[in-house]
């Protein structure tokens, strides 16, 4: 009874090895999620900045055209007549007013959209894919 067989001393490494492998793979996965989300967020910021740049360039071109137009006497006269109501001597000015209740008046703001119900699985998937960043 004093002697123990060598088979009894050995333990099976299967469950412990599987748990360790599972923990290591989980840690590796989690360390990759954060950088992946940062990359997606950075891409979205770059795309947003590019579209804003294109919009500003168009606006700049339009304003440049306005500046060039204001250098002509005809454009200055046109604006003085439209905005300030100037008339030449001998001309008669008429002002036409819109009737009340026209669609140009400000309307009440629309109600905000209702939140979308989704399962926790969908929320996790959107988090992992970066869809929740608002692209």
Domain-embedded: residue 61: yes
**In this predicted structure, what is the pLDDT of residue 49?**
97
Mean pLDDT of the chain: 82
Domain-embedded: residue 120: no
Task: Check pLDDT > 60 for residue 27.
Answer: yes
Domain count, the chain: 1
**In this predicted structure, what is the pLDDT of residue 45?**
93
Domain-embedded: residue 102: no
Domain range enclosing 39: 14-89
Domain-embedded: residue 25: yes
User: What are the phi and psi torsion angles at 71 (to 5°)?
Assistant: -80, -5
Domain-embedded: residue 58: yes
* pTM of the model as a whole: 0.43
Domain-embedded: residue 76: yes
Domain-embedded: residue 41: yes
């Amino acid at each position: 009874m004093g002697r123990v067989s060598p088979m009894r001393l050995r333990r099976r490494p299967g469950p412990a090895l599987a748990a360790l492998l599972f923990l290591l793979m989980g840690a590796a996965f989690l360390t990759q999620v954060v950088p992946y989300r940062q990359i997606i967020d950075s891409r979205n910021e770059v795309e947003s900045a590019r579209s804003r740049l294109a919009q500003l360039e168009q606006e700049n071109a339009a304003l440049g055209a306005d500046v060039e137009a204001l250098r002509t006497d005809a454009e200055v006269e046109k604006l003085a007549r439209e905005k300030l109501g100037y008339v030449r001597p001998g001309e008669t000015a008429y002002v036409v007013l819109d009737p009340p209740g026209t669609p140009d008046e400000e309307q009440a703001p629309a109600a905000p959209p209702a939140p979308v119900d989704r399962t926790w699985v969908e929320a996790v998937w959107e988090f992992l894919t970066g869809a929740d960043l608002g692209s």
